[in-house]
Amino acid sequence: MFSNRKLLLLLIPIIAEQFLNSLMGMADSMMVSNVGAAALSGVSLVDSINNLVVQAFNAMATGGVIICSTYVGQKDLKRANDSARQVILVSAFISFVLMLICLLFRNQLLSIIFGEIEQDVMQAASIYFLLTIISYPGISLAAAGSAVFRAQSNTRLPMNVAIVSNILNVAGNAVLIWGFGLGVYGAAIATLCSRLFSAIVLLAFLRRDNQQIFVREYHKIRPDFEKIKKILAMGIPNGIENSMFQFGKLAIQSSVSILGTAAIAAQSMTNIFENVNGVAGIGVGIGLMTIVGQCLGAGRKDEAIYYTKKMIGWGYIAILSSCLLTYAISRPVTFIAGMEKESAALCIYMLGWITIVKPLLWPLSFVTPYAMRAAGDVKFSMIVATLTMWLCRVTLATYLIRVVGMGAMGVWIGMFCDWGIRGIIFTIRFRSGKWIHKVVG
C-alpha cells in the first residue's frame, strides 16, 4: 500500500509540523529568557501545565485519526466524514469547558502544583498562564483539524499552516517583547494569536469538498453519541496515558522547583531540547497510525506488521539524527537565549547524557505503541505507560532529587529507566501478535 516515496511524502510533513510546533515553546523561552531568569522559569513552569492540556487535546485528535483512517482504508467515506464532524464537536466542547475551569481556578492551580516559589517567578507564571488558557480552544481545534487531514494522508497542509503559525509567533514575540517591552505579556499574546490562527485556517480548509474527508456547516453539527463513544473509546485511554505522562512531569517539576532558579532554568531548557530532539520520532509514530489504520481497514494485517517494523527502524534513524543535531546547536542556543553560565552548563551536561541514551531506548518504547493504538489496542498502552511513568520515572526521580540530593540529573536517570522498561514490555506485546486482532470496527 505504501512505497518508500509515499511513506516519505506522508512522514516528512508530519515531522516538520511537529518540529515547528515544538519551536513555539523554544522561541518563547529564548526570547523571554532575555527578560530574566525569573521570567524564563515562570513561562517554563506554565508550559509544563500547558503541555498536559495539549496532550489531552492531541489524545482526542488521535481517536479521530484511528477511526477516520480505518474508514478510509475500508473506503467508507460517509462514515469517515460523519466521524470527522464528531471529532470537531467533541474537541470544541472539551476545550471550552476546560478553558472556563482553568480561568476560574488559575491561581489556585499554580499554587497547588508548584507550591511556594519565588514571588517574581510566580508573577510571571500567573501572567503567562492567564493568556495561554484562552488559547485552549485554538489548540484543540487545530489538533482535530490536523488529525482529520492526516487520516486521509494529507500531511502537507497541516505542515504549511504550522510554518505560517510559527512565523507569526516568532515575529509577534520579537515585536511585543523587544519592540514594545511587554516581556511575558508579549510572549503570551503572540502564542495566543498564532494558535487561534492555526485553528481558523485548518477548519476553513477542511470545508473544501474536493477531498476524501471534509466538514461543512460547523454550526449544524449535532452529537452522534454512537460515533462519539467510538472516538472516546480510542481517545480516552490515550488521553489518560498522555495526561499521566504530563502529571508525572509536573510531579517531577515540583521536586525540581526546590533546587532554585538556576536549576529550574537549566531543567526547563533541557526539557525544551529533549522535546525538540524527539519530534522526528514522534512524527514517525503519528504517521504510523495512519499507515496501520488504513492497512487494517483494508484487511491487510501482514502489511500492518511489516510497516510497523519498518517504521521502528526509521524511528532509530530519526532519533539519532535529531539528538545529534540538537546537541550540536545547544551551546549557541543557550548563549543566544542569554542563560546564566551555571544554568547553561548544567543544561548542556544533562543534554549530553540524553543524546547518548535516547537513540538506544526511545524508539521501541514510543514508536511501537503508535501501531497498537491504531489497531485499537489502546488500554494496554495506557496501563503500561502509566505504571512505568509513576513507578520508574516519578518515584525514582523524586527519590534521587529529594533524598539522594543528586539534583536535576535525577530527573533524567528516572526517565532513562522508564524508557528501557517500557521498550521491553511493548516489544514483547508486539511480538506476541495480540495487539493486531483489536481492529477498530
Do residues 291 and 153 lie in contact, with contact meaning Cβ atoms separated by under 8 Å? no
Between vectors from CA 392 to CA 390 and to CA 393, what angle results, nearest 5°?
75
- What does pLDDT average to over the chain? 84
Band (pLDDT 50/70/90 cuts) for residue 323 is: very high
| pLDDT value, residue 319 | 94
Q: Where are the domains of the chain?
A: 4-437
In angstroms, rounded to a whole number, what is the distance separating the alpha carbons of residues 33 and 18? Answer: 23
In angstroms, rounded to a whole number, what is the distance separating the alpha carbons of residues 163 and 167? Answer: 6
| pLDDT value, residue 115 | 67
DSSP-derived 3-state class of residue 274:
helix
Which tens digit of pLDDT belongs to each residue from 327-380? 999 999 888 777 888 888 999 999 999 999 999 999 999 999 999 988 888 888
What stretch of H or E contains 15?
helix 4-33
Band (pLDDT 50/70/90 cuts) for residue 226 is: confident
pLDDT at 415 over 60: yes
Band (pLDDT 50/70/90 cuts) for residue 58 is: confident
Q: Can you read off the three cell numbers belonging to residue 233?
A: 473509546
pLDDT at 96 over 90: yes
| pLDDT value, residue 358 | 95
Band (pLDDT 50/70/90 cuts) for residue 276 is: confident
Q: Can you read off the three cell numbers belonging to residue 199?
A: 485553528
Give the predicted TM-score (pTM) of the model: 0.75
Band (pLDDT 50/70/90 cuts) for residue 109 is: confident
In angstroms, rounded to a whole number, what is the distance separating the alpha carbons of residues 232 and 324? Answer: 38
| pLDDT value, residue 30 | 67
